[in-house]
Amino acid sequence: MSQEEVSDDPTTSDDGDVGTGTDTDTGTGTAVDTHVAVDLDDPGAVDLDDPSLYLNRELSELAFQRRVLHEALDERNPLVERAKFLAIVTRNMDEFFMKRVGGLKQQMDAGVTELTPDGRTPDEQWDAILEASRALFSRQADCYADVRAALAAEGVRIVDWDDLSAGEQADLADYFEQSVLPTLTPLTFDPAHPFPFISNLSLSLAVLTSDGSDVKFSRVKIPRNRPRLVPLGDDARYVRLEHVIEANLDRLFPNVEVVDTSLFRVTRNAEVRRNEEVAEGLIDMIEDVLRQRRFATVVRLEVSADTPDRVRDLLVEQLGVSEREVFTLDGLLDYTALFSLADLGRSELTLEPWSPQVHPRFAGVDPEDPDELFAEIRERDVLVHHPYHSFSTTVQSFLDAAASDPDVLAIKAAIYRTASDSKVIESLIEAAKNGKQVAVMVELKARFDEENNLRWVKRLEEEGIHVAYGTIGLKTHSKTALVVREEDDGVQLYSHVATGNYHSETAKTYTDLGLLTTDRDIGQDLVKLFNFFTGHSLHESYRKLLVAPENMRREFTRLVRREADHARQGKEAKVVVKMNSLEDPEMVEELYRASMAGVDIDLVVRGICRLRPGLAGVSETIDVSSIVGRFLEHSRVFYFANDGDPEYYIGSADWMTRNLDRRVEAVTPVEDPDLREELQFVLDAAREDNRKRWAMAADGSYEQVRPAEGEPVRSSHQQLMERARAAVPDDHPTSVIQAHGGAKRESSVDFTDVFTDDS
């Protein structure tokens, strides 16, 4: 069923409960003073360095995670969707602790006392994060209990070992003997054995055994290569793998008494130190980082509620964590197991399946004839929007055509993240085999994708392709490709500038935009950019592209200030920005100044937002909202009214200090009037969403927007899906399938990638 087919009650109060969830969320985890001293007669007297004007980055991120958790709490969502979001919260919080909490601990250990823009030390942030996280994990566990009960009412049961019949227990004992036991390695801690190494994010069983005279601790790792939810027969019943192991420990520890068992889980710091300046090469540095991560300091210890004090104390001592870093939890102690429920096959418990659609501009293009595809782009720019448009029949087709077309001279691409079985990489390899010049920028420092990218670098180099690995001091985050083609009237440049990665899997679940164009200025700008990747110096000037760290901050500042100048002159002035994060204090300050000048500002910010909207005399004209739904909002769109001559941009950069100053980013103008209308529809759909949108208050709290009585439900994701479907020509094969009630799937969606940042 679709989201809109799930019951919506417009009479429910905006600040009341929605089933087991609530529609309000505090943005900081602590009370926030909303009073700011402002002299309304002298706007210039406002101290924009005042910490009270800025929200904390880390607590803002946790506020986003609470909005993600709300998707699991919200009874209007189908049950499997709710279970999936419980798993997404675990995945996101794991990454948050590895990256953000790990980084804070490094600052604390180094004695850093520098204050954040909101006036907090690293220690103060760490304390606030642990407090807010503890509340979030407790709420997640309560939600799981409700979701588990609701699934059971629908015949999908996650049962305990004692709920099984004797016959089922015997069958599972055989399963354990044949399929699980050979994978287990018990590690005992005693005078003859050191405390075992506990790998990052591994789920472990703490086992206390006695031989009659002494009690010993052993660790048993729950294997990741066995299903965590073990199916029982043909019906939709499951038992947890750890329960199967616990019930059969006598086979792992014969001739001793099993005194007690409990679960624990360790999170390690991913922010290991890297010295790029002294590394012999980036590849050596990345390989060293991967090694260090395995043994990095522990930043979080999760233990089950039934953990004995002696086990807890031992873990605290041996892992070197403080009591503050120990989280005693009910529930699953790693909800990612619930991702497997997506394969239940119960359509009434899931969202309506979505198949990315063919782009209407490419619907009539022969995929075997590159001339047709390039002619379509040359005739007029093309705007693609994933996952509404198919990645395989747009971006992938573009690269495939370039690889096989005899008229193509060269292909250049910047790869930040890509799929493990990337067809994009295969196309580039095929192009090289066909005699084309191929240059690929692969960012080795893409966090958590370093190993995957290293593998692709080696494969590309084995094929004789020139590969650039990145650059010292900067991370390359731009999403760009360039095709150089010989045509009758000379060499033509075909450019792709996008907001998302060349990743076929995330293109099914991330909302991303991309521009395909033959604009000569954009093409020449990309030539400069790719020359930097393979050379050594960035250009200071570009014809049309905004490129960080060169001209992007300067140009965005100029554009915001221009709107402020228009407002002061009584002209039309408006700024609309859709992005993932608004963290950079200087850009926040520019928006405050523009608001004080009278500029109407709408910000659709998925996650982190330092800015506080609605402050009297400072940000009264600013609205901030966030959308959380079936797809991860990932596109960046920038609109400036410019007194009736509007400008639109899309690209890879958020307004974060790292994006503007420490990364190579690319943002392109969109000038075609029809494509601007498409972007305006995207912005309007987001701002008018009354189903998945959250409005931010001045104190940093969020309230979910709900339809007023009699008002139709408007989900931006649903609207864009319907728009993409309607644009497919009636005579296209996918239209025939849909007309008969079928859903043509591009391939199954891997939900484990959903809602992870590409940072």
* CATH number assigned to the domain comprising residue 696: 3.30.870.10
Specify the 3-state DSSP secondary structure of 605.
strand
In a domain, 87, yes or no: no
If one counts every other C-beta atom within 10 angstroms of the C-beta of residue 277, the result is: 8
**Does 12 have pLDDT greater than 50?**
no
Specify the 3-state DSSP secondary structure of 534.
helix
Most confidently modeled range among 213-217, 463-467, 595-599: 595-599
pLDDT of residue 273: 58
d(CA 119, CA 141): 33
Residues in contact with 658: Cβ distance below 8 Å, sequence separation at least 6, in sequence order: 475, 759
Specify the 3-state DSSP secondary structure of 264.
strand
Same domain, 403 and 495: yes
DSSP 8-state code for residue 389: B
Same domain, 686 and 707: yes
Same domain, 521 and 563: no
Q: Is 65 exposed, middle or buried (0-12, 13-18, 19+ CB in 10 A)?
A: buried
**Does 6 have pLDDT greater than 80?**
no
In a domain, 576, yes or no: yes
Q: Across the strands, what pairs with 61?
A: none
- 556-591, pLDDT tens digit by residue? 999 999 999 999 999 999 999 999 999 999 999 999
User: Look-up: residue for tokens 């050594």?
Assistant: 536
**Does 71 have pLDDT greater than 70?**
yes
Domain boundary among 534, 567, 594: 534
pLDDT of residue 759: 46
Active site residue 732: no
pLDDT of residue 750: 40
In a domain, 734, yes or no: no
Same domain, 165 and 283: yes
Range of the domain at 491: 370-534
- Kindly provide the residue ranges of all beta strands, DSSP E only, lying in 269-297, ordered along the sequence: none
Rounded to 5 degrees, φ, ψ at 31 are -65, 145
In a domain, 725, yes or no: no
Same domain, 529 and 552: no
pLDDT of residue 196: 93
Same domain, 314 and 188: yes
Residues in contact with 674: Cβ distance below 8 Å, sequence separation at least 6, in sequence order: 380
Same domain, 549 and 530: no
pLDDT of residue 276: 43
- 186-203, pLDDT tens digit by residue? 999 988 889 999 999 999
pLDDT of residue 13: 29
Domain boundary among 534, 561, 577: 534
In a domain, 477, yes or no: yes
pLDDT of residue 198: 94
In a domain, 488, yes or no: yes
H or E stretch at 221:
strand 215-221
pLDDT of residue 249: 97
Mean pLDDT for 59-69 is 98
**Reported confidence tier of residue 19, pLDDT bands at 50, 70, 90:** very low
d(CA 576, CA 623): 10
d(CA 179, CA 231): 14
d(CA 242, CA 254): 18
pLDDT of residue 42: 54
Q: Across the strands, what pairs with 670?
A: 648
Residues in contact with 748: Cβ distance below 8 Å, sequence separation at least 6, in sequence order: none
Same domain, 511 and 559: no
CA triplet 350, 607, 452: central angle to 5 degrees?
A: 75
Rounded to 5 degrees, φ, ψ at 510 are -100, 135
In a domain, 753, yes or no: no
Q: Is there a cis peptide before residue 78, judged by omega within 30 degrees of 0?
A: no
**Reported confidence tier of residue 749, pLDDT bands at 50, 70, 90:** very low
Average pLDDT value for the chain: 88
Q: What percent of the chain has pLDDT over 90?
A: 75
pLDDT of residue 32: 43
- Identified catalytic residue from 386, 477, 566, 717: 477
Closest CA to 438 of 401, 408, 398, 477: 408
pLDDT of residue 288: 60
Strands 437-442 vs 466-468: parallel, antiparallel or unpaired: parallel
Tell me the two tokens of residue 60.
Answer: 């803002």
**Reported confidence tier of residue 274, pLDDT bands at 50, 70, 90:** low
* Dihedral Cα 278, 759, 556, 717, nearest 10 deg: 170
If one counts every other C-beta atom within 10 angstroms of the C-beta of residue 573, the result is: 24
Rounded to 5 degrees, φ, ψ at 267 are -120, 130
pLDDT of residue 65: 98
Q: Check: CB of residue 451 under 8 Å from CB of residue 290.
A: yes
Q: What percent of the chain has pLDDT over 70?
A: 87
**Reported confidence tier of residue 549, pLDDT bands at 50, 70, 90:** very high
Q: Which of 466-475, 597-606, 688-697 has the lowest mean pLDDT?
A: 466-475
Same domain, 505 and 549: no
Mean pLDDT for 148-158 is 97
pLDDT of residue 27: 41
pTM: 0.90
More confident residue, 339 or 533: 339
What is the total count of domains within the chain? Answer: 3
Distance of CA 623 to the CA centre of its chain: 23
pLDDT of residue 275: 47
Q: Check: CB of residue 470 under 8 Å from CB of residue 664.
A: no
Same domain, 419 and 376: yes
More confident residue, 687 or 445: 687
Same domain, 174 and 54: no
Q: Which of 80-89, 275-284, 642-651, 727-736 has the lowest mean pLDDT?
A: 275-284
**Reported confidence tier of residue 286, pLDDT bands at 50, 70, 90:** low
In a domain, 89, yes or no: no
Q: Which of 122-136, 137-151, 385-399, 408-422 has the lowest mean pLDDT?
A: 408-422
Mean pLDDT for 102-107 is 91
CATH number at residue 325: 3.30.1840.10
**Reported confidence tier of residue 25, pLDDT bands at 50, 70, 90:** low
Same domain, 301 and 233: yes
H or E stretch at 273:
none
pLDDT of residue 241: 98
517 conformational bin, left if phi > 0, alpha if psi -120 to 50, beta if neither: beta
Residues in contact with 85: Cβ distance below 8 Å, sequence separation at least 6, in sequence order: 68, 69, 71, 72, 77
Question: 29 to each of 133, 140, 422, 660, how far by Cα in Å?
Answer: 9, 16, 41, 29
**Reported confidence tier of residue 10, pLDDT bands at 50, 70, 90:** very low
